[in-house]
Structure 1
Amino acid sequence: MEKPIIVVGLGEMASVFTRAILRLGHPVFPVTRNTDMEAEARALAEPAMVLVAVGENDLHPVLEKLPAAWRNHVALLQNELLPDDWKRHGLENPTVISVWFEKKKGQDYKVLVPSPAFGPAAALLESALETLEIPCWEVADEEELLFELVRKNLYIVTTNIAGLVVGGNVDSLWNGHNALAREVASEVLDIQFCLIGQELDRDKLIEAMVEAIQGDLEHKCMGRSAPGRLARAISLADEAGLAVPKLREIAASQS
């Protein structure tokens, strides 16, 4: 029998990964809010992977309570993820995947572009997702991973925040309101670069975001999380001393 895999969280995204992992032949042990993780870790001290599939708001509380036996097996998939999110918990080499498929209640998954992964269990994730014909690829190094994480954040935060103004889908946003999208994207990148402590190639990131937009032109710009993403972006800008005038203008228009 293949080594067991722990899945923390039972949401929509966890359901896709669980199905893929089971198809690959690994037994899956779910962890919920009510699970005694320390007790589970004593019984399952050497899993192949501990996939933390909770939402971004629950990530840090989960990582704070993660048993020591599982810390070298962690895999992360959250939106708005950056290296500080795992390093602050003393996790130096987790597996990280930037998920580029969506899964909504009552609907099966929908792929935008291939999902990049990096870390000890990246090949495992790639093989698992392959069983569902979800494209995934391993990035070469931490530098490439960082680019991919910022790319995903740029796409999500830009489309969500600009969507608060214009609604609609990413096609209408990029092709009908390009100036707005670029202005928001520029300020989002300002925040991202402060968070990672370095500048990346802005033009390449915009090109990579557009590639994702073209992967699903009907993708809705915003959902329930959009107001929260805007508030979080402004809070991060405040901490970094960034002006972000367009984001503040949008926030003012929503109040």
Structure 2
Amino acid sequence: MRRKLYYHFSIVIIAGLCILGCSPKKSRDVATSQAEGETIQEAEVEAEGASKSEKKNDPLLLLVNKDTPLPKDYDPDLKVLNSGNKSVAEVIYNDLRDMLTAGNAQGLSFCIASGYRSAERQQEILDQDIRKLTAKGMDYDTAYQNVTRTVMPAGYSEHETGLAVDITALSNQMLDETQVDTPENRWLRENCSKYGFILRYPEGKEEITKIDYEPWHFRYVGKEAAREITEKQITLEEYLK
């Protein structure tokens, strides 16, 4: 009887040792897997943070809108266009020239309606547009709200960066939605990202940009960002989030 008890007791001990021998390894595997997963997640978060920081520090991705004013010390290096009466930021000049030249080769003719504007000129345009509405009997506050759907006050306009251009067809120089029907505008919307430009205020994104649809307003952001923004059909605001 003692031998049988001893035999059974030995089996229990051996089985217990087997279980104890397996459990720690399994626990170590789970712990290692969890640790590796946490490390990957941390690395992804760090990479995402670095990417956001790089975007926000990229001068080509400078965000200027109704809620985000231009830095007070902002002073772009400008280059005068061939027309002689307009200028743009020097950094966009070559790509702008290449884009318009490529369009010309397709039989298209463009007109740059506006490029860089000083703060004084920007405010002058705003005030003029408000006066036109108040002269028709609209009160100032309502006129201001209407005008700032398309024209920003000084310090809040992309035109002050020199990175934005208003481009129309030579045959239709109206800054309105009739531009959409011109072959020049269609070509620009389809090809501008190849040259580092985006359609800055696209249709359907008014709640995000807080600006009405402007098919003539193109903003330089660099080729990589322009490609991603265009492919994802997002705005600069969404890209920088």
Q: Sort the TM-score into its range (normalised by shorter chain).
A: under 0.3
TM-score, normalised on structure 1? 0.23
Kindly indicate whether structure 1 or structure 2 has the higher relative contact order, using CA contacts under 8 Å at least 6 residues apart. Answer: 2
- TM-score when normalising by structure 2: 0.24
